[in-house]
Structure 1
Amino acid sequence: MQLHIIILTLLVFLLIECNARTYESVWESLDTRSIPLWYDGAKIGIFVHWGVYSVPAYGGGKYTNSEWFWYYWKKEKNPEHVKFMKENYLSTFSYTEFAHNFKAELFDPKAWAELFEKSGAKYVVLTSKHHDGYTLWPSMYSFNWNSKHIGPRKDLVDESRQFKSDMYVLNKMLPEMYEIVKKYLPEILWVDGDWVANNSYFKATEFLGWLYNDSPVKDTVVVNDRWGTGTRCTHGDFFTCTNKFNPGELLPFKWENAISIDKHSWGYRRVADSTDYYTTTELVVIMVETVSCGGNVLINVGPTSDGRIEPIVEERLLELGRWLSINGEAIYNSIPWKYQNDTIGETWYTAGDSAVYAITLTWPSGNEFQLGSSAELLKKR
């Protein structure tokens, strides 16, 4: 059983929002917690999938997610993956040997931070541990399978392996989660792997009770909704519900749309071509639709094993940042208006303290905009 943690590194300083309440370790109490204001105002984050799977960087056939390489090769025995390994590696080669080539020798955290800041993102979520269990920090609970002991020989920063009893939860998963919170003070804890067991098995409410009441980030941390079977779209500070969740309408809860610039994979793929990536226009459309409906958008990049972000991905982020440098007033700290989009044309609305913003995604025929939903505002003048 496994639940993987993803930790946030903030690009900006945050105001501490004091919260004097005490929460019991049951959903009825935990669900009453108000989401820290910084998260709703941020609107845009960067997701980073980076690990041992970035070395083979392969997605074959319909199994295009490179970050699941080990699973597709050994568990699913997908013919494309089996063929790839047979043609390129000795029969005795094991997945763990890929870690020796996960060197991150060109990793420049300052350059990453500058790029993400220029993209307009306000927070970054790093997969400090994916489902293969390799941690990007020197976890004392993942000896010799972490970035300090094998591979880069650096503390890159997350989570775990599979067990059939709660020994995994008690001796590995929870200790790693307490460890990463205390050591790195994340403002977001983004967990995954909820489909393999219920939240009682993962001791989710007990952990969240500590996180909200006694942890060093209790006033500012936010968590998603993947804490065990049945918790998606039900429990957590913000909901992710499904991958690439984008309902296209206003919802009664805070939610996040996690997408990857590579349409087919979260991790880096060497076989991807230019048509596999979202265009900047497509990213802007997704972002505007998401924010108009009250969501945040989390845009994923998959760096190479040596620590580079591919030029086409860098280009997309910089172009998105340029768009936001002009139109960010309608995005950051905005709230949904009473209408989310217009029935005439592809126009989406957001609202500020004293303004309503109409964001039109296509140029109108005849150079004339028709904003039917805005008629109500005009009549009041």
Structure 2
Amino acid sequence: MLCVLIAFISCKNKSQPQSETSNETPKYEETWESLATNDREPEWFKDAKFGIYFHWGLYSVPAFDNEWYPRWMYVSGRTEWGGKIFEHQQKTYGSLSEFNYHDFIPMFTAEHFDAKEWADLFKKSGAKFAGPVAQHHDGFAMWGSKVNPWNAKDMGPKKDILGELYVELKKNDMKTIATFHHAKLLQRYAQDTLQWAKNSSDPGFDSHYPYHPDYITSTTDPKLRKFYGNMPANEFHDYWLNQVNEVVDNYAPDIIWFDSWLDKIPENYRQKMVAHHFNTAVSRGQKPIAAYKQEDLPANVGMLDIEQGGKTGLSDDYWLTDITISNYSWSYISGQTYKKPDLVIRNMIDVWSKRGVVLLNISPKANGTILDEQRQVLLTIGEWIDKYQEAVYETRAYTTFGYGEAAFEKGEFGGQSATMAYNEKDIRFMLSKDNKHLYIFSLGLPKADSNIEIRTPIRSKIKKVSLVGSGVDLKWSVTNNKLTFTTPSSSQMDAIATVFKVDFE
């Protein structure tokens, strides 16, 4: 009997899931020096070129003015950006004594959200990675959280938005990203009356919810204070970290991405966060990335993201830019307008030519629909990439990004804007990974049957010049290392961006 019992226990123990890291020493220590040994530019990321994410949450319900609605609904007397929201809130939903931001939760229904359909759309758009804003500044989590009681699985849609989407993205062989913006949630101004709501038109900028004793933002209710960030700093920092770790542990994102205000989190917490992501991902066989803005992580540890713009020249390192599909507001608002596909694609090509990768934001409605206007932009991008994919995915930057005549537009967050007006006279280069092919992008429709001289010297010996898409061979010549070729008919080229291919011997 004893032998049988021992055998049963032994078999039962073998059937229990074992932690992949339980008997292993973590590869990365919680120091910048150790974390800098991670491959911060994995091959899959260099190949990807393009990802999609989306601002979607409670702020999508009022669908008014911008995604910072939960902040500005508590600020009266403001004339700048967001200044219309306070009055709109009062007229539409009532006074702040009757209706507060968390009261939007039952109205965030997401009944039309279809993870499979969304993932398929993202794949058709040409994106190689995708994912949601996991949590914006407002403190509402878009996954089934055990740490944060204010989450989409337990409230509102009652769906694990992030989890359901990740399942479908992985079926499409796509990488995943989760973006975190909740470092701004902590209430940092409870003791600073000058920074309170009612006392300033821009109260306490490093906290999302404006504090005032008369407002719910000052609540000490054990549950509500987590939503409005009104807790001691040490408690909040644990709360912040535990949520990031929960997503890493339960959903295995390839990229975790952080908005501004990450620098407000103490350094040791940021080190713990990155180390946990790297160690957990590597134990699963992933090649992880941690993306940041400004100087919130060391440049040799994380992947820099430049908001709504990009670098002006060829970068030594890979980088990200997050841009919007819309002309105004990251989240859906009533009357929203969208960028033209040619504008988006041409600016994407410019980013790629400078070792950048594009993260494009879309704006679903609160009910879970993605408007046809947004879909059309995505599908046009996908059709263009599909036609020229050999010049896109498995390519690398050339010795120079290119040249052109487009008027410079300064980016709001550094570098150049994401809405530069390029045309056929703006030339960009990409090189195949095997160095056998140079791709020349004309950011528009060149004149038919005309000669184009490439200003940049090409010192490799040329074998052939052709048009990508049709494969038609072009007449060409080289003088003093300057390539000249003759364009085909307009019908064979592309009004969005035409791509020529130079084969080297």
TM over 0.5, yes or no? yes
Q: Tell me the secondary structure at the aligned position of residue 116 of structure 1.
A: helix
Residues 1:251 and 2:333 are matched in the alignment: no
User: What runs of 5+ residues in structure 1 fail to find an aligned partner?
Assistant: 1-19, 60-65
1:1-381 residue pairs with structure 2 within 5 A? 22-35=27-40, 36-59=42-65, 66-75=66-75, 78=78, 79-91=83-95, 92-143=98-149, 145-157=150-162, 160=182, 161-162=185-186, 163-170=231-238, 172-194=239-261, 197-200=264-267, 203-215=269-281, 216-217=283-284, 219-226=286-293, 230-231=295-296, 234=299, 236-240=301-305, 242-273=306-337, 277-343=338-404, 345-352=425-432, 353=434, 354-365=436-447, 367-377=450-460, 378=478, 379=481
Partner Cα separation in structure 1 for residue 297 and residue 279 of structure 2: 22
The more displaced of 244-253 and 280-289 is: 244-253
Q: Is the Cα–Cα contact under 8 Å of residues 211 and 217 in structure 1 kept in the other structure?
A: no
Two-structure CA RMSD over aligned residues (Å): 2.4
CA distance in 1, matches of 2:49, 2:154: 36
Structure 1 residues 233 and 271, CA gap change in structure 2 (3 angstroms)? farther
Higher strand proportion (structure 1 or 2): 2
Amino acid at match of 2:428: W
Q: State the distance in 2 between where 1:156 and 1:90 align.
A: 30
Q: How far does residue 347 in structure 1 lie from its aligned partner after superposition?
A: 0.7
Partners of 1:25 and 1:206 within 8 A in 2? yes
**Whole-angstrom CA distance in 1 between matches of 2:451 and 2:121:** 37
Equivalent residue of 2:429, what SS? strand
Shift of 1:375: 4.4
Distance 1:106 1:149 in 2: 18
Give the deviation of 1:245 after TM superposition.
3.3
Q: Is the 8 A contact 1:212 1:218 kept in 2?
A: no
Alignment CA distance shift 1:119-1:168 (3 Å)? same
Query: How much has 1:112 moved relative to structure 2?
Result: 0.7
The verdict on how the C-alpha distance between 1:316 and 1:252 changes in structure 2, with shifts beyond 3 A counting, is: same
Counterpart Cα distance in 2 of 1:84 and 1:114? 37
- Judged with a 3 Å threshold, the aligned counterparts in structure 2 of structure 1 residues 316 and 370 are, in CA distance, closer, same or farther, namely same
Scaled by the length of structure 1, the TM-score of the pair is: 0.84
**Which is higher, the Rg of structure 1 or of structure 2?**
2
Alignment check: 8 A CA contact 2:245 2:276 kept: no
Structure 1 Cα separation of the partners of residues 442 and 400 of structure 2: 14
Maintained 8 Å contact 2:76/2:86: no
| TM-score, length basis structure 2 | 0.64
Counting aligned pairs with the same residue, the percent is: 27
Inter-partner Cα distance in structure 1 for 2:321 and 2:284: 24
Question: What whole-Å deviation, never above 9, does each CA across 1:54-111 have from its counterpart, x for those lacking one?
Answer: 101111xxxxxx2211112215764411121122112111111111110000111111
Structure 2's unaligned 5+ residue stretches are 1-24, 163-177, 187-230, 406-424, 461-477, 482-503
Q: Distance in 1 between matches of 2:284 and 2:260?
A: 23
- 1:220-266 superposed Cα distances (whole Å, 9 cap, x missing partner): 2211024xx832673543111x3123113111211011100012221
How many angstroms does 1:270 deviate by? 1.0
Aligned counterparts of 2:297 and 2:276: Cα–Cα separation in 1: 21
Higher RCO, Cα 8 Å, sep 6+: 1
What residue identity is the alignment partner of 1:169? H
The aligned amino acid for 1:88 is T
Amino acid at match of 2:274: L
1:200-219 C-alpha deviation (Å, 9 max, x unpaired): 26x11122223223455474
Following superposition, the deviation at residue 25 of structure 1 comes to: 1.7
- Name the stretch that deviates more: 155-164 or 345-354: 155-164
Q: Which amino acid aligns with 2:395?
A: S
Partner SS state of residue 257, structure 2: strand
